[in-house]
Chains A and B, each alone.
Chain A
């Protein structure tokens, strides 16, 4: 089964993403910040990482850099969950190695449509 790592410091967003993806038949692991996400990613191989940008402890951009430095996440799709006002964040994310982004606010259908783009 396709495994997705969902990273967001907001519990409601995490729940929404996780619920939507599980409903669509994906296996989902949640993490509340970049550091926890990295720990999870080292424990098991994910097919896709969805990460918020603004998070305490370790932000999304740093997470992408750290993941790309791992040999088994070199080509794994990593999508950033950003808001439209953070245009420069998208570029920063891209430079760090993110595959793409999904603009908040998004609804479950948009989330699934975007995920299908990379899986």
Chain B
């Protein structure tokens, strides 16, 4: 029977990553002085599960590495060893290391072992430490291998049938553990020819017999091509309590020194001899009685057997690399219940309407309207319930920050306290996955540029410990995430100076505080005096803003000198629904994301300038904005080619503003986004489609795609802008 284990890999990866998160947060909460055994248990369990799973699914590198960690944890758990702060650091590094390994495996890449080997030797050094050298159960280099492979290896070296005599007297309580001697004999029969003779000598009289106790013992002759270890394996589960002797009577196969065992060449015929004869033979045989070791670890050795298969695995994985990633989601049972509830109500409404339609006359109209109203309410509730399934609490993202702050503050020598608020605020899983990195960047930024060194804080009359607060809450249809620090705040003068230097603003420009703060999101902007490896490479904030805008969100900063800064991210709760502005161009209806619209204006030709290169620009107060004609891009016939009769919608995308020429603005509404890629193919300038109330399909426009399509390049835009500046 062959089962493709790879079908369980995705679940394994996900649960391992979750396990690592559990380990990490437990490690961070661990007080080494006053060690809580439940926390240690929790860490141990997570490591243990990862090891078990990785071994089972053939990820031997992960299994080997986790084994070392588990061994140390086991000693700590058993109280054989005290946990020290150094251990915690090492465990935390290992968590990172395993996470990296799992991610590589998930992506089908080769696993980078240098970190793992490094850590492994550090763990080994601790394990080999004087006080407990002997306590480490299994050497780390031994790959976890099932006992079955012991017999596989042994079987390969044997040749020909052997005759074994087995004396078996189980413990009286053997049946109470669910073990059944007859099943063991059946197994022996599967190996070869077994003659089982029961000895009832110990059986008490019928009056005193306890039906749950086993009084029997057995003499068995087995002729089979097996090694002793294989026979022992049959009795593996009862070996410790039973009296068991396994003796080789004679050998048929040509061994190098037949005399040594006193083997008789004729013994093959002994397979049918009477038990008494066998006993006699045994007595005469010089073969030493086999003592059975009670050590359970005895069955585990032979690391070689599994190795080739494990090594072949990465190559096989590579081939699968391109297969699409299927991610799953864990949903609370209450959400599923509410969904089922909702569907139940929908069914009731449907049957009610069905009933109504059977012999409908106008007198039933109010009833029909009532039914339809109910249907629309059911639909709305159902939609909300389905949306909620994709919602997860933001604690999934927040949970990575305690570690980040712990590590970074250590590196920088700052004292920082992290406060998490609104962890239960829910948002869409996809949004959550994509907001993690921008948030990491912002938190790093606050740590590096915001919070001052302890001595500077004391000088400024603040507590030496800085405070970073992550806050999340719902506002309207959005989730708001704030990253608040109580550091020194943005240096507005420096920002302005830098912006002038880089030509982002004119020297004489009057900017509000808000506008100055906003400059940090411009491409190529960094005020860090020294580029540290924490942040400040100047490729940050603009990327952060772009990533957030891709999620149809926005980010702003508010800052007070000496008091700190607050970064506020606003995101839609889901990517499946969009607040859209319907616009018409010719006979078509398009949808613009509401969040990208700055204003809509009617223009007169005085405001429109033509610059070299054929691009029209709109003069909008002090700015010049390129004009993009939707009808040109989509090659349709508009109601009017005259700009004065059209509407200009000023939108922002890709950090620049453009004015879209449309015929009219229609309604604003929430639209459900349908992917074009899934149903048709990717189209530049269009991010998706939706179905309107009247059943027609409307395309949702992608502003940055439109900018590209229209051929407005940033350098050109700059030129336009500079030209505009001169004109002004």
Tell me, rounded to whole Å, the shortest Cβ–Cβ distance linking B490 to chain A. 46
Give the distance in Å from the alpha carbon of A15 to the alpha carbon of B48 in the complex. Answer: 18
Tell me, rounded to whole Å, the shortest Cβ–Cβ distance linking A115 to chain B. 11
Q: Is B1 within 8 A of A112, CB to CB? A: yes
* Size bracket of the A interface: 35 or more
Give the distance in Å from the alpha carbon of A81 to the alpha carbon of B52 in the complex. Answer: 10
Residue B67 CB within 8 A of the other chain: yes
Q: Main SS of chain A's interface residues?
A: mixed
Q: Is A108 within 8 A of B178, CB to CB? A: no
Residue A40 CB within 8 A of the other chain: no
Provide a sorted-by-A list of 19 A–B residue pairs whose CB atoms are within 8 angstroms.
A10-B15, A10-B52, A11-B11, A12-B8, A12-B15, A13-B52, A13-B56, A16-B56, A19-B8, A74-B212, A83-B55, A85-B70, A94-B237, A98-B178, A99-B178, A100-B236, A104-B56, A105-B63, A113-B148
Residue B716 CB within 8 A of the other chain: no
Give the distance in Å from the alpha carbon of A9 to the alpha carbon of B74 in the complex. Answer: 19
In chain B, positions 25-67 with a C-beta closer than 8 Å to chain A are 42, 44-45, 48-49, 51-57, 63, 67
Give the distance in Å from the alpha carbon of A52 to the alpha carbon of B48 in the complex. Answer: 11
Contacts A83-B144, A87-B137, A91-B240 given; indicate if A104 touches B52 (C-beta within 8 A): yes
In chain A, positions 13-53 with a C-beta closer than 8 Å to chain B are 13, 15-16, 19-20, 23-24, 52
Q: Is B296 within 8 A of A91, CB to CB? A: yes
Q: Is A103 within 8 A of B179, CB to CB? A: no
In chain B, positions 54-95 with a C-beta closer than 8 Å to chain A are 54-57, 63, 67, 70-71, 74
Contacts A9-B49, A85-B137, A98-B177 given; indicate if A104 touches B57 (C-beta within 8 A): no
Which B residues are CB-close (under 8 A) to A103? Answer: 146-147, 299-300
In chain A, positions 67-90 with a C-beta closer than 8 Å to chain B are 68, 74-78, 81, 83-87, 90
Which B residues are CB-close (under 8 A) to A78? Answer: 177-178
| Chain A residue at minimum C-beta to C-beta distance from B174 | A99
Contacts A90-B296, A108-B1 given; indicate if A85 touches B74 (C-beta within 8 A): yes
Give the distance in Å from the alpha carbon of A110 to the alpha carbon of B3 in the complex. Answer: 12
| Chain B residue at minimum C-beta to C-beta distance from A101 | B237
Residue B297 CB within 8 A of the other chain: yes
Residue B12 CB within 8 A of the other chain: yes
Which A residues are CB-close (under 8 A) to B12? Answer: 10, 12
| Chain A residue at minimum C-beta to C-beta distance from B44 | A54
Which A residues are CB-close (under 8 A) to B237? Answer: 94, 99-101
Contacts A85-B67, A106-B146 given; indicate if A97 touches B176 (C-beta within 8 A): yes
Q: Which of B7, B11, B45, B67 contacts A9 (CB 8 A)?
A: B45
Apart from the given pairs A85-B67, A98-B178, 11 other A-B contacts in the complex at a CB distance below 8 Å = A19-B3, A54-B49, A78-B177, A78-B178, A83-B55, A85-B71, A100-B179, A103-B300, A105-B54, A106-B146, A118-B183
Residue B138 CB within 8 A of the other chain: yes
Give the distance in Å from the alpha carbon of A10 to the alpha carbon of B71 in the complex. Answer: 20
| B interface residue numbers (CB < 8 A to A) | 1-3, 5, 7-9, 11-12, 15, 42, 44-45, 48-49, 51-57, 63, 67, 70-71, 74, 137-138, 144-148, 175-180, 183-184, 187, 212, 234, 236-237, 240-241, 295-297, 299-300
Contacts A76-B178, A104-B144 given; indicate if A20 touches B137 (C-beta within 8 A): no
Q: Which of B12, B74, B241 has the most CB of A within 10 A?
A: B12
Which A residues are CB-close (under 8 A) to B137? Answer: 85, 87
Tell me, rounded to whole Å, the shortest Cβ–Cβ distance linking A94 to chain B. 7
Tell me, rounded to whole Å, the shortest Cβ–Cβ distance linking A36 to chain B. 13
Give the distance in Å from the alpha carbon of A33 to the alpha carbon of B71 in the complex. Answer: 23
Residue A2 CB within 8 A of the other chain: no
Which A residues are CB-close (under 8 A) to B9? Answer: 12
Tell me, rounded to whole Å, the shortest Cβ–Cβ distance linking B12 to chain A. 4
Q: Is A84 within 8 A of B148, CB to CB? A: no
Q: Which of B3, B45, B299 contacts A56 (CB 8 A)?
A: B45
Tell me, rounded to whole Å, the shortest Cβ–Cβ distance linking A4 to chain B. 13
Which A residues are CB-close (under 8 A) to B241? Answer: 94
Give the distance in Å from the alpha carbon of A56 to the alpha carbon of B42 in the complex. Answer: 8
Q: Is A16 within 8 A of B5, CB to CB? A: yes
User: Which 10 A-B residue pairings sit nearest by Cβ, starting from the closest?
Assistant: A105-B55, A100-B237, A99-B178, A12-B12, A77-B178, A105-B56, A12-B11, A104-B52, A87-B296, A108-B3
